[in-house]
C-alpha cells in the first residue's frame, strides 16, 4: 500500500472516530501526522494491557470499505496533499480553536463535479434561517452577481439566506458549493432535496463528516469554520443577535478573510446582527454585488500573510504567462483559443499558462469555460 | 457708544453686506475685527476718490434700526463675546472653507427662549427632503430618545427628515433648535408654519442671515455648516446620493464632530448616501437613540482638541462643585433644592455650582428644570 493511500485510510478512520474540528485530534494530526496518530491510538491497548475504548472503535472500522462504498456513490475523500485539496483550509491549522472547535479538517468528503482547488476565490453568503423577504432577495441578488463574475458561491444549504444564496448562484449560471453539517449522502434539510440534487450534479456538496453522519448542533459550528475558510470572503445578509451565521463571521474574521455585512432597516430584528458586525468594525458594509467583488479583490491584495505564496506580483510572472495574461479580457469571457490568437502563443502553451495563472488568482474560468481576469489580475 | 455695542453694530452691517460664510469676509473679521473691517470698507471710497459700491451699500444701512426692529419682534442678535454665544462655532474659524463657504458666522439672529450657550451638547438630525416612511419614523424616534435625555435636537426645519427630527424632539418633550437659510422672521417652508411657531415659543430659531433675508440655494450650504458646528454630533437618517444632508455630514466631519448614519434597506435609494458614509468610514452606524447618546458622550471624551477647555477632568473640579456633582442623579432628574439637601450645600451655592458644571458638560438641565449628569459627568 502506498504511503499516500495509507495516509488517506488513516484520515478516514480518524474522521470516523472524532468529531469534526476536535482541536485535540486536529492538533495531534498536525504535529505527528495522521498515520502515526492512528497507529499510536491503535497501540494504546498495549500501553495499559486492556483494549482501550478508542482502540476498540478504531479496530471496528474499515476505512477501505468506506472509500469503496463512497466511490460507488461518486463521493470522494479529499485530503491534504491531493491535487484537489483546497489549500486555503490549511489556514485553519494556524488560527487555534474557538468554542472547542478548530484546526484543519482531516479531509473533506465531496460529491459533485466542481474541484475544491478551484474555489479559492469563492465568496460565502450566509445568514438567518428565518430571514425577511428583503433578506432573501438581497442574498439571491448578491449571489447571482458574484456567480456571474465567475466567482463560486459557498453556503450551508440551510433554510433562508443559505438557500437564497445557492439559488442565486444557479440563477447567475455560476458555481455553488454547499458545506453540510452531516454526511454528503444525506439530504438535510429534506425540503432542499431538489437543490442538493442540483448542486451534486453541477457544483459540489462538501462535508468534514463521513457519509451517513447525522446533522447535530455542534456540527453546525464546526461546519461554519469550513465555510469561512474555503471562501476568500464571507457576506452575512441577515442575522439575528445569536444567529449561527455570526459564528461563520467570527471564523472569517479569525482567518483574516474579508468579512462583509448587508445593512437593513434598523427596525428589523434579522438585521441586528449585521448592524452589530458593521458598527464594531468587524465587517465592511456592502450593498451591491460590485462592492462584494471589490472587497474580495482587495482581500487578496491586502492579505496579511499568504502561506501559499498566491499573492504574487504580476511583474514576477514568466514572460509567456505575462503575455497570456495581457490577452485575457476583464469582463467578457474569452475561450483559450481566442486568447491563443490574441497572445500569439500556441494553444497548448496558453492552456498551461492559464492553469498557472488561475492558481495564482490572475484569471478565473467561468462555468461556460471562458476566461476572465481574476481578483489578482484585476489589481493595479 | 460702548465698544461692545459698536462691535455688534459692525457685525449687523457686515452681515447685511455679505453672504453668510463668505470666506473673504469671515477671514478678514477674524484677522482685523469687525469694527476695523467695517471702518475700512466705509473709508474705501476715500481711497479711490469715488464712492465704492461696498461703501455705498454700507452707508445705506442702519444697524441700530435693524436691532430695534428685531427687538420689537423678540429677535436678538448674538455675537462672539456675548454670554449666549455658542463657543463651539469658533471651531469654524479653524476649518477653512469648502465650496466657497466657511468661517465663523458674524453673529446669529435668534428667536425663542432657548439660549445658544446651552446647546453645546446637542445632536443634529438631518436627512432627505423626500424620505421614506421608514426614514421619518426612525428620525422621529431617535430625536424623541435624544430629547428625552435632555439633549437638544438641531435641524433645518426642511421637509422630510428635518421635520420628523423637530417633531420627535417635541414628542420627547425636549428642546429643539431650527437653523434656517433665511431670516428667522420668515416662515419657510410655509407648510411648517405651525412647527416654526412652536419652536419660536419653546426652542430657538436661528439664522446667520438678517431678518427678512430670503432662502437661496447657496444659503442652504452655508446654513448646513452652522447645524454641524452647533451640535456635538450629526445623525444622517436618509440621504440620496447628492443630498444636501451630505454637506452637513461633510462639515461635521471637518469639524471633528461625531458623524453618525442610519442604515436602511440596500434597495432603498434614500439610504444610499448613509450607506456610503458608513462604508467610507466617515460615519458610525447607529440604529437606536442609545447608540447616538453613546457616540456623543464618546465625542466629548475623545475630542482631539477642545479649544474651549470644556473637557475637564472631574478631579480638577473645585471641592464644592465636585460635591454637588456627586449629588446629581444619572438618569432621574432632580431639582436644585433636592440636590442641595443631598449635597449638604445651600441652594445658592448649588445653583452656582450647577451652572458651572453645566458649562463643562458635567450636568444637563432637563426641559422641566431638573438636573441629570451630562456627557462629561457620565464619564469616570
Q: What is the pLDDT of residues A177-210, one digit of tens each?
A: 999 999 999 999 999 999 999 999 999 999 999 9
pLDDT class of B303 with cuts at 50, 70, 90:
very low
Kindly list the residues from chain A whose CB atom is less than 8 angstroms away from the CB atom of residue B266: 138, 262-264, 287-288
B8-36 pLDDT, tens digit each: 999 999 999 989 999 999 999 999 999 99
The closest CB to that of B284, out of A138, A279, A286, belongs to: A279
Query: pLDDT value at position A379?
Result: 52
* Nearest of B113, B81, B117 to residue B359 by alpha carbon: B117
Report whether pLDDT(A282) > 90: yes
Query: pLDDT value at position A138?
Result: 98
* Residue-by-residue DSSP string for A121-152: T-EEEE--SS--HHHHHHHHHHHHHHHHTT--
pLDDT class of A49 with cuts at 50, 70, 90:
low
- Compute chain B's Rg from CA coordinates: 21
Query: pLDDT value at position B198?
Result: 95
Kindly state whether residues B335 and B371 are assigned to the same domain.
yes
Query: pLDDT value at position A309?
Result: 32
pLDDT class of A50 with cuts at 50, 70, 90:
low
Report whether pLDDT(B307) > 50: no
Number of domains comprising chain A: 3
Contact B284 A287 (CB under 8 A): no
User: Which comes out higher in pLDDT, residue A304 or B184?
Assistant: B184
Average pLDDT, chain A: 88
Strongest mean pLDDT among A127-141, A289-303, B46-60, B289-303: A127-141
Query: pLDDT value at position A59?
Result: 86
User: Which comes out higher in pLDDT, residue A242 or B65?
Assistant: B65
Kindly state whether residues A261 and A289 are assigned to the same domain.
yes
Is residue B37 assigned to a domain? Answer: yes
Rounded to whole angstroms, the Cα distance separating A278 from B290 reads 17
Kindly state whether residues B178 and B282 are assigned to the same domain.
yes
Report whether pLDDT(A158) > 90: yes
Least confident of B149-163, B225-239, B311-325, B332-346: B311-325
Report whether pLDDT(B360) > 60: yes
Answer for the pair A183, A212: CB distance below 8 angstroms, yes or no.
Answer: yes
pLDDT class of B38 with cuts at 50, 70, 90:
very high
The closest CB to that of B279, out of A265, A272, A284, belongs to: A284
Report whether pLDDT(B172) > 90: yes
Is residue B88 assigned to a domain? Answer: no
Report whether pLDDT(A82) > 70: yes
Query: pLDDT value at position A300?
Result: 53
Kindly state whether residues B285 and B216 are assigned to the same domain.
yes
pLDDT class of B116 with cuts at 50, 70, 90:
very high
Measure B271 CA to nearest chain A CA, in Å.
Answer: 10
- From the candidates B281, B287, B289, which should be mutated to test the interface with A, based on the most A CB atoms within 10 A? B287
B195-207 pLDDT, tens digit each: 999 999 999 999 9
pLDDT class of B304 with cuts at 50, 70, 90:
very low
DSSP state of B300: H
Report whether pLDDT(B106) > 70: yes
Percentage of residues in chain B having pLDDT higher than 70: 91
Report whether pLDDT(B308) > 70: no
Kindly state whether residues B322 and B296 are assigned to the same domain.
no
Tell me the mean pLDDT in the region B363-379.
71
Kindly list the residues from chain B whose CB atom is less than 8 angstroms away from the CB atom of residue A278: 263, 278, 285
Is residue A88 assigned to a domain? Answer: no
Identify the closest residue of chain A to B279 by CA–CA distance: A285
Q: What is the CATH number of the domain that holds B355?
A: 1.10.10.10
Kindly state whether residues A318 and A298 are assigned to the same domain.
no
Rounded to whole angstroms, the Cα distance separating A374 from A361 reads 5
- Residue B154 CB neighbours (<10 A): 32
Query: pLDDT value at position B250?
Result: 94
User: Which comes out higher in pLDDT, residue B274 or A217?
Assistant: B274
Kindly state whether residues A161 and A284 are assigned to the same domain.
yes
Tell me the mean pLDDT in the region A81-106.
93
Kindly state whether residues A110 and A34 are assigned to the same domain.
no
Within a 13 Å sphere around the CA of B163, how many CA atoms are in the beta-carbon half? 18
Instruction: Return the sign of the alpha-carbon dihedral for residues B315, B317, B322, B326.
Output: negative
Measure A247 CA to nearest chain B CA, in Å.
Answer: 22
Least confident of A119-128, A300-309, B132-141: A300-309
Percentage of residues in chain B having pLDDT higher than 90: 67
pLDDT class of A308 with cuts at 50, 70, 90:
very low
Is residue B89 assigned to a domain? Answer: no
The closest CB to that of B265, out of A265, A278, A284, belongs to: A265
Contact B285 A291 (CB under 8 A): no
Query: pLDDT value at position A305?
Result: 34
Kindly list the residues from chain B whose CB atom is less than 8 angstroms away from the CB atom of residue A267: 134, 137-138
Report whether pLDDT(B375) > 70: no
- Of A36, A57, A73, the last residue of a domain is A73
Query: pLDDT value at position B98?
Result: 86
Range of the domain at B199: 108-302
Measured in whole angstroms, the distance separating CA A221 from the mean position of its chain's CA atoms is: 15
Kindly state whether residues B118 and B240 are assigned to the same domain.
yes
Report whether pLDDT(B49) > 70: no
Query: pLDDT value at position A306?
Result: 33
Is residue B189 assigned to a domain? Answer: yes
B122-131 pLDDT, tens digit each: 999 999 999 9
Query: pLDDT value at position A359?
Result: 72
Kindly state whether residues B324 and B289 are assigned to the same domain.
no
Kindly list the residues from chain B whose CB atom is less than 8 angstroms away from the CB atom of residue A262: 266
* Nearest of A283, A243, A244, A293 to residue A262 by alpha carbon: A283
Report whether pLDDT(A46) > 60: no
pLDDT class of B259 with cuts at 50, 70, 90:
very high
Query: pLDDT value at position B95?
Result: 87
Instruction: Return the sign of the alpha-carbon dihedral for residues A114, A117, A121, A127.
Output: positive
The closest CB to that of A278, out of B134, B266, B278, belongs to: B278
Measure B178 CA to nearest chain A CA, in Å.
Answer: 26
pLDDT class of B155 with cuts at 50, 70, 90:
very high
Is residue B221 assigned to a domain? Answer: yes
Identify the closest residue of chain B to A276 by CA–CA distance: B285
Report whether pLDDT(B240) > 90: no
Average pLDDT, chain B: 88
Tell me the mean pLDDT in the region B43-56.
67
> What element of type H or E holds B372?
strand B371-373
The ipTM estimated for the assembled molecules is: 0.70
Long-range contacts from A31-36, C-beta under 8 angstroms, 24+ separation:
A33/A7, A34/A7, A34/A10, A34/A106, A35/A3, A35/A6, A35/A7, A35/A10
Is residue B287 assigned to a domain? Answer: yes
A317-340 pLDDT, tens digit each: 777 888 888 888 776 778 888 888
Q: What is the CATH number of the domain that holds B185?
A: 3.40.50.450
- Of B281, B302, B323, the last residue of a domain is B302
> What element of type H or E holds B30?
helix B23-32
Kindly state whether residues A112 and A234 are assigned to the same domain.
yes
According to DSSP, the residues that pair with B74 across neighbouring strands are none
Measure A274 CA to nearest chain B CA, in Å.
Answer: 11
- Of A302, A322, A357, the last residue of a domain is A302
Is residue B208 assigned to a domain? Answer: yes
Kindly state whether residues B246 and B336 are assigned to the same domain.
no
Angle, CA B185 vertex, CA B179 and CA B190 arms, to 5°: 80
Instruction: Report pTM.
Output: 0.74
B52-74 pLDDT, tens digit each: 678 888 888 999 999 999 999 99
Tell me the mean pLDDT in the region A87-109.
93
Strongest mean pLDDT among A339-348, B142-151, B238-247: B142-151
Answer for the pair A58, A17: CB distance below 8 angstroms, yes or no.
Answer: yes
Amino acid at each position: 500500500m502506498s504511503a499516500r493511500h495509507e495516509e488517506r485510510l488513516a484520515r478516514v478512520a480518524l474522521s470516523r472516530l472524532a468529531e469534526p474540528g476536535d482541536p485535540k485530534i486536529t492538533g495531534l494530526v498536525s504535529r505527528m501526522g495522521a498515520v502515526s496518530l492512528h497507529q499510536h491510538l491503535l497501540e494504546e491497548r498495549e500501553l495499559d494491557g486492556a483494549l482501550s475504548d478508542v482502540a476498540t472503535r478504531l479496530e471496528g472500522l474499515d476505512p477501505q470499505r468506506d472509500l469503496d462504498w463512497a466511490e460507488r456513490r461518486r463521493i470522494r475523500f479529499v485530503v491534504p496533499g491531493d491535487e484537489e485539496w483546497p489549500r486555503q483550509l490549511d489556514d485553519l491549522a494556524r488560527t487555534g480553536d474557538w468554542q472547542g472547535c478548530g484546526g484543519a479538517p482531516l479531509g473533506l468528503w465531496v460529491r459533485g463535479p466542481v474541484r475544491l482547488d478551484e474555489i479559492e476565490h469563492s465568496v460565502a453568503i450566509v445568514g438567518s434561517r428565518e430571514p425577511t423577504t428583503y433578506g432573501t432577495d438581497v442574498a439571491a441578488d448578491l449571489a447571482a452577481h458574484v456567480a456571474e463574475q465567475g466567482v463560486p458561491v459557498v453556503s450551508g444549504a440551510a433554510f433562508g439566506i443559505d438557500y437564497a444564496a445557492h439559488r442565486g448562484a444557479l440563477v447567475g449560471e455560476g458555481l455553488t458549493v454547499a458545506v453540510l453539517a452531516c454526511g454528503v449522502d444525506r439530504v438535510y434539510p429534506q425540503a432542499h432535496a431538489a437543490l442538493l440534487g442540483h448542486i451534486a450534479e453541477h457544483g459540489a456538496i462538501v462535508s468534514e463528516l463521513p457519509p451517513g453522519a447525522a446533522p447535530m448542533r455542534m456540527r453546525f459550528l464546526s461546519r461554519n469554520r469550513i465555510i469561512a475558510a474555503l471562501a476568500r470572503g464571507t457576506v452575512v445578509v441577515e442575522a439575528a443577535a445569536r444567529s449561527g451565521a455570526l459564528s461563520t463571521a467570527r471564523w472569517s474574521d479569525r482567518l483574516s478573510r474579508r468579512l462583509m455585512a448587508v445593512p437593513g432597516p434598523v427596525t428589523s430584528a434579522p438585521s441586528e446582527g449585521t448592524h452589530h458586525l458593521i458598527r464594531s468594525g468587524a465587517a465592511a458594509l456592502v450593498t451591491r454585488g460590485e462592492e462584494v467583488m471589490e472587497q474580495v479583490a482587495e482581500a487578496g491584495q491586502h492579505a496579511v500573510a499568504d502561506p501559499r505564496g498566491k499573492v504574487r506580483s504580476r511583474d514576477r510572472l514568466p514572460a509567456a504567462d505575462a503575455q497570456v495574461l495581457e490577452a485575457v479580457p476583464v469582463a467578457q469571457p474569452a475561450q483559450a483559443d481566442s486568447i491563443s490568437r490574441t497572445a500569439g502563443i500556441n494553444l497548448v502553451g496558453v492552456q498551461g499558462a492559464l492553469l498557472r495563472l488561475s492558481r495564482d488568482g490572475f484569471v478565473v474560468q467561468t462555468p461556460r469555460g471562458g476566461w476572465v481576469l481574476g481578483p489578482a489580475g484585476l489589481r493595479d
